Amino acid sequence: MRKLTLDDFKNYKFLSGIEHSPDGRHVGFVVHEADMEENKYRSNLYLAEVATRKIRKLTTFDKESSFKWQDDEHLVFATIRDPKDKEAAESHKEFTQLYRINIHGGEADKYLRLKKSLGSFDFLAGGDVLATCAFDLNAKDQLNLSETELSDELKRLKEEEDYEVLEEIPFWSNGGGFTSKKRSRLCRFDAQGTFQGYLTGEYTNVESVKLNEEKNKAVLVSSTFQDKEELLNELSYFDGETVRVLDTPGLTISFADFLDKDTLIFTATDMKKLGLNENGKFYTYDLLTDTLALITPDLDQSLYNSVGSDARYGGSKTRVVDGGELYFTTTLGTNAELWKVNREGVLRPVITEEGSVDGVSVKNGHVAYIAMKNTTLQELYFLEAPALPVSSFNTWVQEEIQLSLPEPLKLTLDDGTVIDGFVLKPVDYTEGKTWPVLLEIHGGPKTVYGSVFYHELQLFAAQGYYVVFCNPRGSDGKGNDFSDIRGKYGTIDYEDLMNFTDLALFTYPDMDLSNLFVTGGSYGGFMTNWIIGHTNRFKAAVSQRSISNWISMFNTTDIGYYFADDQNASSPWDNHAKMWWHSPLKYADQVVTPTLFIHSEEDYRCWLTEGLQMFTALKYHNVESRLCLFKGENHELSRSGKPKHRQRRLEEISGWFARYRTLKTADE
């Protein structure tokens, strides 16, 4: 077997979009893979037959990243294949071209051309299309324009590419670009693709839409705002003709579906106790009586998958209703499990294996899911034989590559709180010498490290490092109190990380105390910046997509105006001193650790100014530092960035640590 190489990720297969056919006989899903030559990802549709467990590829055009079942035998997806369509899209002309493919064979054909740019879509019972469509309050609606007017508008939009006018916050979103006065509206098309009208107002932004089992009604999660978007949003009901907002005051809703034809189930939080990171609870809404009910008042459990990995691409459903119960993923400890809840609020586990359930579909009791188990990459599984994957896209990794198995390590605090973590030994570990140590810090902060496959961590183990990673206070998986570090950033979480590092050094005596390195991204980037300003124990650091100044982060990033004040329990106006105290930039004059900064030009979550400020401060104080800026990338560089950019990022980190790393034998 060989060691993992930096660019092995180009051969991984990433699974997403899992969904049963209406009759439950087939499961459709998407397989993505990196194309290094074209510097992009190829995506195609696949089909698994439930009865035989056989898998076959449906498309070969490499552009099908999502789909909808139209009926038992047809999948429909939006894509641009025709060069004329590509030219029209580049001219700012609004349209969506749908293709349809029969699961029994043949290539996809052009199906419907809709004169709006769609986000999501689904088919109503009569064949009409219910969809979310892009709507720009600063542009003319192209639906109502004559050919001459449309030509003039397209010319104007082309000229406007050099300008952005901002009139509200947030004014941009990570991965979505500038968003000021742009909305996603619910609209309807007939079965021939003719626009029938908007169903929501011009200032309403539709976040999600879910049809009922009969496909004649829908539930919406949306927010309506001008000037400033608030955290509280709306639950709405589409009765087949019109949309009405339901009475759910004071809630932030993250998901909604039909539990039965007259009952909605949704997840929400009022944020009153623990702010925006407070775990949600389950609610029902009776459409006949307009009655809202909290069915899990005592629940303190994560309601989503927060297990981190850089070996995923694309998205999947993680909550689905079947048989009057809602199946959902939940993070418990270091694993993402599958549970279900009924209308009485009774919760039961469904899949509790070590690893991460990344996507799920349930139909007539049959559970299909995408998962990463232990150190394996994603595969398709059916619940009736969970130990046997249906697919084998990534089995070559275990067959060809020598991996380091995560060894659990637990730090117990004085009050009994347990900090979970892991250690990867160097792949070529032998006794008789000491080994350099890399501390990796996750983002969030409300995410977790688990035992699942992580390319970056395995890479450094292959390069001869002990890799140490843990879930300090602020992480997910252990309830609200554990994850609540509002106003405490850089205090108890910093202590947990340093104490866990000390525990690892004590537990593994051949770790080289004089050869410590540290890196992290997002919250992990903040913490890397914080660490180098508070200790000199690390020989080199890599700070990625970081926060350095809470005051500038508040006023420039897509989430800053509500995240920064919530997490710091202060704002630039009511407690400027506290925000500055928690800012790593305040302590930059104390840094001596050589530091590489990695940032993306279009990272609007932790904007470029955060990395630039810290880099400038270190240069000003004569600290060895370097900044690598990735053009055209955003906050997701390490997870879904262009393949060549992901490779360059790993080259930068590896090269920076190698510059300062020294190798020793045990008797030196």
What residues in the chain have per-residue pLDDT under 50?
665-668
Residue 263's Cβ-count burial label (10 Å; 0-12, 13-18, 19+) is middle
Tokens read off for 556: 């420039």
Beta bridge partners of 283: 266, 294
Q: What local confidence, expressed as pLDDT, does residue 667 receive?
A: 45
- From residue 350, give the alpha-carbon distance in Å to each of 332, 339, 362, 666: 13, 5, 12, 48
pLDDT in tens, 108-167: 999 999 999 999 999 999 999 999 999 999 999 999 899 999 999 999 999 999 999 999
- From residue 662, give the alpha-carbon distance in Å to each of 113, 276, 387, 539, 623: 61, 44, 43, 10, 20
d(CA 134, CA 184): 5
d(CA 121, CA 79): 13
Place of tokens 């349809």: 100
d(CA 507, CA 38): 46
pLDDT in tens, 321-366: 999 999 999 999 999 999 999 999 999 999 999 999 999 999 999 9
Provide the H-helix boundaries in 91-197: 147-159
Q: What local confidence, expressed as pLDDT, does residue 106 receive?
A: 87
Parallel, antiparallel, or unpaired: how do β-strands 252-260 and 243-245 relate? unpaired
Number of residues that this document lists for the chain: 668
d(CA 323, CA 319): 13
Could you tell me which residues come within 8 angstroms of residue 280 by beta carbon, excluding any fewer than 6 positions away? 254, 267, 268, 269, 303
DSSP 574: T
Q: What local confidence, expressed as pLDDT, does residue 105 receive?
A: 86
d(CA 201, CA 245): 12
Beta bridge partners of 418: 412
Tokens read off for 579: 């925000």
Helix H, strand E, coil C: the string for 527-556 is HHHHHHCCCCCCCEEEEECCCCCHHHHHHH
Q: How would DSSP label each residue in 399-450?
A: HHEE-PPPEEEEEE-TTS-EEEEEEEPPTT--TTEEEEEEEEE-STTT-B--
d(CA 331, CA 342): 19
Contacts 24+ apart (CB under 8 A), 214-221: 214/125, 214/261, 215/122, 215/123, 215/124, 215/125, 216/124, 216/125, 216/240, 217/258, 217/261, 218/130, 219/256, 219/257, 219/258, 219/264, 219/266, 220/186, 220/256, 221/253, 221/254, 221/255, 221/256, 221/266
Geometric angle at alpha carbon 447, from 446 and 452, rounded to 5°? 170
Phi, psi at 85, each rounded to 5°:
-65, -40
Three-state DSSP class for residue 654? helix
| pTM beyond cutoff 0.75 | yes
d(CA 216, CA 207): 19
Full set of structural domains in the chain with CATH: 404-665 (3.40.50.1820)
Say how many C-beta atoms besides its own lie within 10 A of residue 10's C-beta.
Answer: 16
